[in-house]
Structures are given as structure tokens and as C-alpha cells.
Structure 1
Amino acid sequence: MEKQPVASAPPQKKPVSGTNIALGAAIQTFEVSTLGQPFEVIKTHMAAHREDGLLTAIKKTYQRGGIRGFYQGLIPWAWIEASTKGGVLLFASSEIDYQARTRLGSSPAVAGLLGGMGGGIAQAYTTMGFCTFMKTVEVTRHKSADSVPKSTWRVAADVFQREGIRGLNKGVSAVAVRQMTNWGSRFGIARVTEHLIRGSDSTRKLTTGERILSSVVGGALACWNQPIEVIRVEMQSAAKSVDRPANLNIWTCARYIYQRNGLLGFYRGVTPRIALGVYLTVCMVFGGDSLKAYVAERQAAKQAQS
């Protein structure tokens, strides 16, 4: 008798764990509160002031507010973003991954790629749009030493009164493109790196160091999309310029940057952004795995005692 093909098991939706969401929020908040925000501030300064080099950006940031100058926009905007974007990504990417495999018949790799890209877009249009806008405003707005500066809440309220929700989400389309290409690139490059490390033994389990290395390579090389990050910063910047067109979109902003700074202008701030990507990856991979293992051990110990 001819053997009938064995039906493969239907794809299972990845569970969205409340514990993992909480851990991810805690790790990202730690990351942004330590070295993450200084890298973000320097990167944003260089993207907005494209005539400044790395050392000049560091010097001007320090002159603007001392050590606190490197943490502009941290409270509350970077904290809001860090504590929410992981949960949005996990939920959206899990759902898209499942639908791609069940409805489209996609392979796990393609489904994961689509899930990461969709999750990145979801991040942009939920919490990251207004958070990145306000962080950029805090770094680029003029603060006079002779007057009491407006609070970040007052600035946000003024923008909302003038322009509504759209004003607070200025540049969100560029954020969405950045996040989509970020997660797609990180996923793809990290998987290729893992394959190269394994070599001929495709089933070998990678060590923690090898997984960190793969993620770091993916995070660093994903910065190829720095031009869209520079465009995003320019669209959200509060810095004044006489020749800057009003109501910029992605295309008019790209033309403006090219006319003023040429091709190299699109890569201003890429060095601190690479450093930011590497630091974030190490925190999320090494720190995330360590915390998850610790929590799992504690939960197993409690269950054994009960």
C-alpha cells in the first residue's frame, strides 16, 4: 500500500507572557536609563545639527546641561516608550506570525520576518510616534539661560493645542519605516550570522556568547537605514532654520537634507546609533536570558514547595 503523507501539526500561536512583557519593559527601562539615552541624545543632536561631529556633539550636549544634558527626554518620554514598545512588539508580531503561517502558509522564517516588520510598524503608531517626537523636541529645542524653560509637559500641551494628535505624532511615518526596516534587518542579519557560526552543523545549539554576537552583528548592520533616521529627526526637530520648508514629509525632507548636506548628511549620527544598538542588544539578549532563567527557577522552586 502506498503510504499516506503524514499531516503536519497545525502552527501554534506563540503565547504572550505577561511575565516576559514585564521583564522586557524592566530591561529596556534600565537600558535607556543608563547608557541608552546618552547615545540617543548624541545621535539625535548629530542628525539634527549635521555640521557637528561626534566630539562637538558631546561637548555641546554637556555645555547645554552638564551630565543631565545627556538625559534630556528621558522622563517621561523615553520611560513611556521603553516600558510599552516591547509589549506592543511581542503581541503584534506573535499575531502576525501566526496568521502568516496559518492563512498564507508562510515558512517560520518568513512568518517571523513579517511578524517583526508588522510589530515594528505597530510600535510606531501606538507609543513610539509621540515619544520619539517629544524626545527629539527636548534635545533640539532652544533653552535660554536667561529665562525659565518650559516644562516638557507644557511643550507637549502647546503642540497639542496648536496641531492636535497629528502634531504630537509628527514624523510617525518615518518612525514606522525605521522600525519596520530595523526589525526586518535585525531578524535577517542575525539569522545569517547564526548560520555562519554553526557552519556545517546546522543543528548545534549556540552558546550565550554566540547568540549575543549574532544579535550584536544584526543590530549593528541594521543601521544601514540611518538615512530614514536622519529624516525622522529632521521632521521632528524643533531647531529653527530659515531655509527649512514647512510641513515636511519624508520626500521633501530627504530633498532638503540632500541639498544642504549631500549624501553624507544622511549618515550623521550613525556611530552613536551603532553603539546604542549594540548596548540594547546586549541588555536584551544577555540580560533578558539571565532574568528569564532566574524567574523560571524561582517559579519552579515555588511550585516544588507547594
Structure 2
Amino acid sequence: MSAAVAPAPASAPKKLEKKPIKFSNLLLGAGLNLFEVTTLGQPLEVTKTTMAAHRGDGFAAALGRIWNRGGILGFYQGLIPWAWIEASTKGAVLLFVASEAEYYARLAGASEFGGGIIGGMTGGVVQAYATMGFCTCMKTVEITKHKVAASGQKVPGTWATFMDIYRREGIRGINKGVNAVAIRQMTNWGSRFGLSRLAEQGIRKITGKEHGEKLNAFEKILASALGGGLSAWNQPIEVIRVEMQSKKDDPNRPKKMTVGNTFKYIYETNGIKGLYRGVTPRIGLSVWQTVCMVALGDMAKTYVEKLTGEKVTAKH
């Protein structure tokens, strides 16, 4: 009499593990972001903001306006301390919140792709309200404030400008336009993540790497640059953000600016083209960010691992 064969036990589902937030990951993110913004990042940001604020200017006219404002240093206006604060905290705030949100989304049943988008969008929104709102506001104020040097008066410095806004308008004045920043960050991270994945799938089909083979550095840069460039579809939100935060003189602007009435004001004065002013330098900024994160990421990983003694697990 033959013995009955017991059915093989079903394989246990893969346990979802919470990714630890390592100091090495935060150091890598902060370092790469600081390098990016101090090199080409801030000049492209200044050009983008100038075009969005002065929507009658073309690319060449915007460059001339910036040069007349301060020569080569005009392209780095707002770098210290605002762009540095934003860059150095971006990795910490974004990485921590995005990782937590992705973990709980996956725990609730979201797919890896869906969890990544939810994590990125949540991280972007929290970053906007935690640090990016007042940083972008102060950068925009410095780039667009009316210069009084021509009349012989002393131009107020960075901290004098900050304290003047704080005394007159309080925390709300410092965080002006933060809702538009949050919308931009949320749509940025959601669309950039999704479009980069889409571009990556296309590159895998073309190169025959559809079975998980590793993409080379150029292919990674191309996929991320396409994703970042195409995510500039939300440029109207960026133009609205700049308009809400700018200090340019225009009596026709709404007294209490909201995302809705600012959109209406820009559309009525400059049309659809006005809502997409500054999109070219923004695409350039996205490509440069990608090159820094991907091309320099591996070299930076090796250096940070030696410095901290931790294995870096951050994706870039």
C-alpha cells in the first residue's frame, strides 16, 4: 500500500520590509543637490524665474536683464542661503517622507509602481510645506525685487529683505505661494516618476533589455532626462508660483493672490504663452539634475561609503 503524498506547502508571500533611513543616504542626497544647484542649477533657476516673472521677455532678453542686474553674480542671486538650504534639506525631508509613505502604501496593498508614485507625491508635498515654500519665496523675492540702486539708495541685503517681509506680513508673507509650490512638487514627482519609468520601458524594448538587464549610464540619463523634461507640462503652476511670490510692481495684479485668481490674471494679460514662459530653462534644469544624480551618483556613492562606513542604498 503506497503512502499518500502530502501536498507541498505553499510558498510564503514575500514579507514587505521597511527600508531604513541611513545617514549615508541623506549625506549623498544633500551633497549631490548642493553640487547641482551651485554649478548650473541656480543660473537656470534664475533664468526660469526671470522669464516667468517678466513674461514679455524672450530667452535672450532674460539673460540680458540678469546680466545688467549683477553680471555673472546676477545668475547666482538667491543661492546663499536659500538655494543651499533647499538643496541640503531636500534629500533629508523628501527621502524620509517618501520612504515612509511608500512603505505604508505598499502595506495597504498598492503595487510597487503605485507605491512609488504615492511616496514621491507625498514627499514632494511635505517638502514644499516644510522647507521649499519659504526658500522658493525668498529666492523669487531676491530675483524680482525692484532695485533702488539707480536712485542712489542702498539695496537691502538678503536678511534685511527677509526681516522686512516678516515684520510686515509675518509667516504668511515668508511662505507666500506655498500652495502653488506644493501642487508643483506633487505633480512633478508623480509625473516625473511615471514618465521616467515609461521612457525606461521604451529604451529597454529598443535595446533588447526587456528581462531586467542593467541599463548603462547613458540609458539611465536618457530615461530620467526624458521623464524630467516631459514633466514640464505643469509649467503653468510654476509661473503661477513665481507670480504669487514676485515683488515686481503691477497695480493690475489681484490684491490677495490665490492660485485661481493668479492663473486668471496671467492668462488675461499674457495668454497661453505666458503660462509656459521659462519652460526651456526648466527642461535644461531637469536634464542637469539628472546628469548630476545619475552620472555623478556612482562616484559619490563610493566616496560616501568610505566616509561613513555605511553601504549607500539610495537610488539615484
Same fold (TM over 0.5): yes
RMSD of aligned alpha carbons: 1.7
1:110 aligns with 2:114: yes
Mapped to 2, the partners of 1:233 and 1:195 lie a distance apart of 34
1:151 offset after TM fit, Å? 1.1
Aligned to 2:85: 80
Aligned to 1:122: 126
Mapped to 1, the partners of 2:229 and 2:292 lie a distance apart of 14
Aligned to 2:301: 292
Mapped to 2, the partners of 1:298 and 1:167 lie a distance apart of 40
Q: Any idea what the Cα deviations from partners look like across 1:256-283, whole Å, max 9, x if unmatched?
A: 0000001111000000111111101111
Equivalent position SS for 1:85: helix
Candidates 233, 242, 265, aligned match of 1:224: 233
Q: Any idea what the Cα deviations from partners look like across 1:221-272, whole Å, max 9, x if unmatched?
A: 1111100000000000000101111110000000000000011110000001
Candidates 11, 15, 20, aligned match of 1:10: 15
> Counterpart of 1:48 in structure 2: which amino acid?
A
Assess, with a 3 A threshold, how the Cα gap between structure 1 residues 157 and 297 changes in structure 2: closer, same or farther: closer
1:140 aligns with 2:144: yes
Residues 34 and 88 of structure 2 are in contact (CA less than 8 Å); yes or no, is this contact kept in structure 1?
yes
> Counterpart of 1:154 in structure 2: which amino acid?
A
Aligned to 1:192: 198
Assess, with a 3 A threshold, how the Cα gap between structure 1 residues 203 and 152 changes in structure 2: closer, same or farther: same
Alignment map for 1:42-191 (pairs within 5 Å): 42-102=47-107, 104-145=108-149, 146-191=152-197
1:42 offset after TM fit, Å? 0.7
Assess, with a 3 A threshold, how the Cα gap between structure 1 residues 299 and 234 changes in structure 2: closer, same or farther: closer
1:19 aligns with 2:24: yes
Q: Any idea what the Cα deviations from partners look like across 1:25-55, whole Å, max 9, x if unmatched?
A: 1111111111111100010000001000000
Please report the TM-score for the alignment, with normalisation by the length of structure 2. Answer: 0.91
Please report the TM-score for the alignment, with normalisation by the length of structure 1. Answer: 0.94
1:2 offset after TM fit, Å? 5.1
Residues 77 and 143 of structure 2 are in contact (CA less than 8 Å); yes or no, is this contact kept in structure 1?
yes
Residues 24 and 305 of structure 2 are in contact (CA less than 8 Å); yes or no, is this contact kept in structure 1?
no
Aligned to 1:265: 274
Residues 243 and 262 of structure 2 are in contact (CA less than 8 Å); yes or no, is this contact kept in structure 1?
yes
1:296 offset after TM fit, Å? 3.5
Aligned to 1:246: 255
Residues 195 and 202 of structure 1 are in contact (CA less than 8 Å); yes or no, is this contact kept in structure 2?
no
Q: Which runs of 5+ in 2 are unaligned?
A: 1-5, 311-316
Mapped to 2, the partners of 1:41 and 1:279 lie a distance apart of 14
Mapped to 2, the partners of 1:8 and 1:164 lie a distance apart of 53
Residues 45 and 282 of structure 2 are in contact (CA less than 8 Å); yes or no, is this contact kept in structure 1?
yes
1:235 aligns with 2:239: no
1:5 offset after TM fit, Å? 3.5
Bigger Cα displacement from structure 2, 54-63 vs 144-153: 144-153
Residues 30 and 89 of structure 2 are in contact (CA less than 8 Å); yes or no, is this contact kept in structure 1?
yes
Aligned residue-pair number: 301
1:7 offset after TM fit, Å? 2.5
Which is higher, the Rg of structure 1 or of structure 2? 2
Mapped to 2, the partners of 1:12 and 1:66 lie a distance apart of 52
Equivalent position SS for 2:156: coil
